[in-house]
Structure 1
Amino acid sequence: MLDLTKLAQQMQGISQQLSLEATATRQRLEQAHKLLDLAAQNQPRLTENQQTWRDRLSFTAAEPVEPLNRRLPIPVAPAVHTVLATDGSQIAPSHHEIAYCYLINIGRIILYYGQNRLPLVDSQPEIFYRPEDLYISRQWGIRTEEWMGYQRTVSEAMVLAELGEAVRQEWGAEDGIQEVKRGTGSRGQDPALENATSKIKSSISDLQSSLPDTLALVDGSLIYWFLESLPGEARDRILPPILASWNRLRDHKIPLVGYLSASRSGESINFLRLQSCPYHEPDCITHCPGHLNGDASSPLKRAPCQVLDPLKDTALWGMHLEPGQRSPLWRSSARILDLYGDHHTYFCYVHAGTEIARVEFPAWVAEDVHLLDVALSLTLAQVQKGYGYPIGLAEAHNQAVVRGGDRARFFALLEQQMIRAGLQNVGISYKEARKRGSIA
C-alpha cells in the first residue's frame, strides 16, 4: 500500500525543480532555433561531414534529405480509404503458474472508410509451450521473457502483411499479382509469354491504382534497436520474417507507417551538433575522446557540441510546425539499418494538432511521392478520428491487451485441459497462492 503522507513530504521541492527545468528548456530552444537557421544555410557541407565522418562520431545523427527550412502541409485524406493496424500483448511465462508457457495476442484491425463495409475488429492468440519455443533463446543468453517480446514483434508484422493481402484479395488483385509472378518466372523462354506478362503487369498496375488508398499502421518505431545487441544467429530468426512481411506490403502498394507518440528521439537535434562543433572536422574520437560517453546531466562531462542536451526532436519541431504540417524528411543513420536492405527507415515529424509525432516509413515509401502522401494523409486522418492518437492503433491495442480476467480464464482453461489429459498435482505454487490470498 502506498503511504501518501510520506510521499507528500518528498514532493515539496518538485515544483521548484520543474520551474528551473522549464526555464533552461526555453533557453535551449532559442539556441536550437539559431542553430537550425545556420544549419539550413550550411546544409550541403554539414551533410557531407556527416557522411564522411559517420564512423568517427560519438552520436547518431540523421541525414536530412530535404531542405531544413522546408515545412510542408499534409494532403487531405481521400473520402474512400482503408486502414490496417496491429498491436500485441502477452502473458509472460512463470514457474509459479500451473504450466510454464506464454501467450501472444495480436489485435487485428481493418477500418473501411467511405465503402459501406463493416470493420474487422478482433484478436489472434497463439500459445507457445514447446521446449524449442521456451528454451531456444537461452543458448544466446537471452531470457525467455525477452525472446517472447521479440516474437511478438515478428507476429505483429506478419499479421499486418496478412491483413494487407486479405484486403487486396477482396478486390481481386491478389490473383492478378500471382499471375504476374508466374509469368515473370518464365520470362526469356517465350516471346509471346513475355508480351503477355507485360500486359498483365500493366493491367495489375492499373488495378492497383484504382484501389482505395490503404495504410498499414504499427505502434512504435520501425527501427528495432534491440537487434544491435543480439547475436547474429538470434537476429536472423527475428529480422528476416519482419522484412519479408514488409516486402508483401510493398508488393501490394500499401505504405507502412510506424507511429511514435511522445517520441524521445534526438536524431535530428544531433545533426545540429555538426553545426555547433568547434572543429573543422567532426572527429569525436580524436578531438573529444573524454566525452564519448558524456552525461548530458553533467556540464563537466559534455562535449562542446552538446549545447542543446537534453533537448529532444519534438521540442525543436514544436517551435517550427503549424497543425497539419510536417518537417523535412530525414534518413536515419542507425547502424542496424544496414541490415534492412530496401527497407532503410526514413522519418519526419508531424504536427498532429495535439502533439508533435514522429512518423517512420521504409525507403520505398519515402521515395514514392504518391505513397508518401497516402501515408501522411491517412495517418493524420487517423489521429484526428482518434482525438489525438490513431484510432486504428488504439483499437488494435484494446483488442490485444490481456486483462486480469482474461489471464485467469486462460489458466483456468489450461488447467481443465491438463486434468482431462490425466495430469496430476495441477496447481500454482504456494508462493503464488499466498500472494493471491493475503491474510494481512
Structure 2
Amino acid sequence: MLDLTKLARQMQGLSQHLTLEAAASRQRLELAQQHLKNAYESQQDLIDRQEKWRDRILFANATPIEPLETSIDISVPPKIHTVIATDGSQIAPNHHEIAYCYLLNIGRVVLHYGQNRHPLLDSLPEVFYRPEDLYMSRQWGIRTEEWMSFRRTASETTVLAELACAAKGEAPALAMVDGSLIYWFLEQLPMEARDRILPPILEAWQQMRDAQIPLMGYLSASRSIETMNFLRLLACPHPVPDCKSHCPNQLEKVPCKIFEQLRDTSVWATRLKPGQRSTLWRSNSPILELYGDQTIYFCYVHVGTEIARIEVPAWVAENATMLEQALGLMLAQVQKGYGYPVAIAEAHNQAVVKGGDRARFFALLEQQMIKAGLKNVGTSYKEARKRGSIA
C-alpha cells in the first residue's frame, strides 16, 4: 500500500526541481531556434560536413531532404479510402504458472470509408510452447521474454501486409503501425538472431510496396533528437566535426551538446501550425544499412493535439503523391480518433489481453493438460499466495 502522507513530503522538492528544469528547457529551446534559423543559410554546407565526417561523428543525426524552413499544409484526403492497422499484446512465460509457454495476440483492423463495406475488427492469437520457441534464444544470451517481444514485432508486420494486400482495391489505402519503423533493438542482436526477425519484416514491406499501399509508423510523444543533433554540426567549435578525435567521450558534457535533453518535437512545435508537416528527413541510424533500399525517412506533423513523428520507407518518401495522400489519410485518422489514429487505437483494443482473458487462457490450458493425463496441474504456492492475500 502506498503511504500518501510520506509521499507528500517529497512533493515540494519535486515541484522546485521541475520549475528549474522548465526554465532551463526554455533557454535551450530559444538557443535551438536561433541555431535553426542560422542553419537555413548553411544547410548544404552542414550536409556536406555530415557526409564527409560521417564515420567520425559519434551521435545519431538525420539528413534534411528539403529546406529546413519547410512547412507544408497537408491536403484533405479522398472521402473513399481504406485504413489498415495491427498491434500486438502477449502473455509472457512464467515458471509459476501451470505451464511454461507464451501467447501472442495480434489485433487486426481494416476500416473502409465511403464504401459501404463492413470493417474487420478481430485478433489473431498464437501460443508458443515448443522447446525451440521457448529456449532457442538463450543460445544468443536473449531472455525468452525479450525474444517474445521481437517475435511479436515481426508478426504484427506480417499480418499487416496480409491485410493490406487483401484489401487492395480501387480506393486509396494506408497501412499503419504504432511506433517506429527503425528497430533499434536489432543493433544489439547477434547476426543469427537478427536474421530470424528482420527478413520477414522486410519481405512484408516489399509485399506492400508491390501492392502500392503506403506503410507508415506513427510515434506519439516521440523522444527523438535526430534533428536536434543535426544542429550540433553547426554548434561544433572545432574546424571539423571529428568527434572521435576531439570529443571521444560523449557521456561527458561536450561543447556541441547545448541542446541536451531537448527533443525534436519541442522545436517543431514552434515552427508548425495544425495540419502542417515539417521538413522530410532521412534517418542515418546504422541499423538501416541492413534495410537495403527500404531505408527510413521521417517528418514531424502538427496533428492538432501534439507534434507526431511520422516514419515511412524510402519507396513512400520518394513518391510525392503517395506521401501526400498517406499524410492526409493519417491526419483524418487522428481527427476521427480525437487526437490519436482511430485504426491504431482499435488495433490495440483488439490485441490487449485483459485479466479475464488471461484467466480463461490458463483455464483452457489446464483442461487440456488434465485431458492429456498430466497430474499435479496448478500454479506455484508463491503465485497462489500473491493472488489471494490473507492480510
TM-score (norm 2): 0.99
Deviation at 1:416, TM superposition (A): 0.6
Tell me if structure 2 keeps the 8 A contact 1:285–1:292.
Answer: no
Q: Deviations over 1:203-242 (max 9, x none)?
A: xxxxxxxx11100000000000000000000000000000
**Unaligned stretches of 5+ in structure 1?**
172-210, 295-301
* Aligned partner of residue 37 in structure 1, secondary structure: helix
Deviation at 1:292, TM superposition (A): 2.0
Matched, 1:423 2:379: no
Deviation at 1:274, TM superposition (A): 0.3
Q: Deviations over 1:380-408 (max 9, x none)?
A: 11111101100000000000000111100
**1:77 & 1:323 partners in 2: Cα distance?**
16
**2:58 & 2:197 partners in 1: Cα distance?**
28
Partner of residue 177, structure 1 = none
Partner of residue 285, structure 2 = 334
Matched, 1:352 2:303: yes
Partner of residue 222, structure 1 = 181
**1:371 & 1:135 partners in 2: Cα distance?**
43
Matched, 1:366 2:317: yes
Matched, 1:400 2:342: no
User: Which one of 281, 284, 300 corresponds to residue 240 of structure 2?
Assistant: 281
Q: How does 1:55-204 map to 2 (within 5 A)?
A: 55-168=55-168, 171=169
Partner of residue 263, structure 1 = 222
**2:268 & 2:165 partners in 1: Cα distance?**
36
Q: Deviations over 1:325-361 (max 9, x none)?
A: 0000000010000000121000000000000000000
Partner of residue 236, structure 1 = 195
Deviation at 1:293, TM superposition (A): 2.1
Structure of higher CA gyration radius? 1
**2:90 & 2:380 partners in 1: Cα distance?**
21
Greater displacement, 422-431 / 328-337: 422-431
Equivalent residue letter for 2:227: S
**1:21 & 1:434 partners in 2: Cα distance?**
44
* Aligned partner of residue 11 in structure 1, secondary structure: helix
Equivalent residue letter for 1:364: W
Partner of residue 44, structure 2 = 44
Greater displacement, 9-18 / 327-336: 9-18
Partner of residue 325, structure 1 = 276
**Unaligned stretches of 5+ in structure 2?**
none
Tell me if structure 2 keeps the 8 A contact 1:138–1:144.
Answer: yes
Tell me if structure 2 keeps the 8 A contact 1:255–1:374.
Answer: no
Tell me if structure 2 keeps the 8 A contact 1:219–1:258.
Answer: yes
Tell me if structure 2 keeps the 8 A contact 1:105–1:126.
Answer: yes
**1:247 & 1:417 partners in 2: Cα distance?**
40
**1:425 & 1:15 partners in 2: Cα distance?**
53
**2:165 & 2:216 partners in 1: Cα distance?**
17
**1:5 & 1:238 partners in 2: Cα distance?**
48
Identity of aligned residues (%): 67
* Aligned partner of residue 261 in structure 2, secondary structure: coil
TM-score (norm 1): 0.88
Q: Deviations over 1:153-192 (max 9, x none)?
A: 0000000001012112xx4xxxxxxxxxxxxxxxxxxxxx
Tell me if structure 2 keeps the 8 A contact 1:137–1:144.
Answer: yes
**2:92 & 2:99 partners in 1: Cα distance?**
11
Equivalent residue letter for 1:13: G
Equivalent residue letter for 1:69: E
**2:343 & 2:159 partners in 1: Cα distance?**
15
Deviation at 1:116, TM superposition (A): 1.1
**1:434 & 1:309 partners in 2: Cα distance?**
47
Deviation at 1:34, TM superposition (A): 0.8
